[in-house]
């Protein structure tokens, strides 16, 4: 490759990187503008592969509905499975139902229950929006994506990069063994502190999930009434 060809390639890469920055900024701005007036929110995570016929789907609907009835809006990844269940419950409970969809070659397609649906190309931008606008995280059973979102939130809280908020994992039969490993390995080897273990609460009962979040994230009557009126206008 000659000097001219190398310079052309370098210039092309620079242009592509510049355009990529603009695309990233555009996604951030879109997220900020769309969700700036929505409070308080709970982000619900879980597997996209769960079917509506499964018990965990219905449990997610129940949790999201109860949260919405108590004045919380629901944010999910916008896709099928647990995400769909979260958005469905939010709508049934009268809260704002928000989906942050990610473009993937398989599995992910927007569900029909999100009143506000944002579309993302970049995972890290989507994760910024999740953290910025959530006052609590609920982790239902899920795979690598669910683990990624939950552990990132725990890390940000642990390192004081964000204000602490409730991180609730639903399903002791699913999450219990993982947290036993955290205690038996990470804490035992002093890779984390004893207080870090308590950054997560593992529950099974939907009512307890709502109570745990309500103890920390208070919804004022003004916020609750205002959110309901906004919801009516959106519909």
| Confidence check: pLDDT of 234 > 90 | no
The model's pLDDT over 39-56, given as tens digits with 9 standing for 90+, comes to 999 999 999 999 999 999
| Confidence check: pLDDT of 88 > 80 | yes
User: What integer is the mean pLDDT of 62-80?
Assistant: 97
pLDDT level of residue 2 (50, 70, 90 thresholds): low
37-234 CATH: 3.40.50.450
pLDDT of the residue at 93: 98
pLDDT level of residue 19 (50, 70, 90 thresholds): confident
The CA distance from 200 to 177, in Å, is 14
pLDDT of the residue at 18: 73
pLDDT level of residue 61 (50, 70, 90 thresholds): very high
pLDDT of the residue at 220: 53
12-21, 26-35, 112-121, 141-150, range with the lowest pLDDT: 12-21
The model's pLDDT over 103-149, given as tens digits with 9 standing for 90+, comes to 876 656 789 999 999 999 998 999 999 999 999 999 999 999 999 99
The CA distance from 102 to 60, in Å, is 20
142-146, 152-156, 157-161, 228-232, range with the lowest pLDDT: 228-232
User: What integer is the mean pLDDT of 81-98?
Assistant: 97
Do residues 54 and 29 lie in contact, with contact meaning Cβ atoms separated by under 8 Å? no
Hey, where are the domains in the chain? 37-234
Do residues 97 and 235 lie in contact, with contact meaning Cβ atoms separated by under 8 Å? no
Q: Nearest 5°: CA angle at 99, between 96 and 102?
A: 170
Q: What is the pTM assigned to this prediction?
A: 0.84
pLDDT of the residue at 55: 98
The CA distance from 197 to 38, in Å, is 30
Cβ neighbours, 10 Å, residue 108: 18
SS (H, E, C) 94-144: CCCEEEEEECCCCCCCCCCCCCEEEEECCHHHHHHHHHHHCCEEEECCCCH
| Confidence check: pLDDT of 223 > 90 | no
Average pLDDT, the chain: 87
């Amino acid at each position: 490759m000659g000097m001219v060809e190398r310079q052309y390639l370098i210039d092309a890469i620079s242009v592509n990187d510049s355009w990529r920055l603009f695309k990233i900024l555009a996604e951030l701005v879109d997220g900020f503008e769309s969700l700036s007036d929505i409070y308080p929110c709970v982000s619900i995570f879980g597997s996209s592969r769960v079917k509506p016929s499964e018990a965990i789907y219905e449990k997610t609907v129940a949790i999201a509905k109860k949260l919405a009835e108590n004045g919380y809006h629901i944010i999910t990844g916008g896709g099928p499975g647990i995400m769909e269940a979260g958005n469905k419950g939010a709508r049934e409970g009268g809260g704002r139902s928000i989906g942050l969809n990610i473009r993937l070659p398989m599995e992910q397609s927007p569900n029909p229950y999100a009143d506000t649906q944002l579309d993302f190309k970049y995972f890290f931008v989507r994760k910024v929006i999740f953290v910025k606008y959530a006052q609590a995280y609920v982790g239902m059973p899920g795979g690598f994506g669910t683990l990624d979102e939950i552990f990132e939130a725990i890390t940000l809280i642990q390192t004081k990069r964000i204000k602490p908020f409730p991180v609730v994992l639903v399903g002791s039969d699913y999450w219990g063994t993982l947290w036993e490993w955290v205690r038996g390995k990470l804490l035992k080897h002093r890779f984390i502190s004893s207080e870090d273990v308590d950054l997560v609460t593992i529950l099974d009962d939907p009512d307890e999930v709502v109570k745990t979040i309500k103890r920390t994230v208070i919804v004022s009557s003004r916020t609750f009434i205002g959110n309901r009126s906004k919801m009516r206008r959106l519909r």
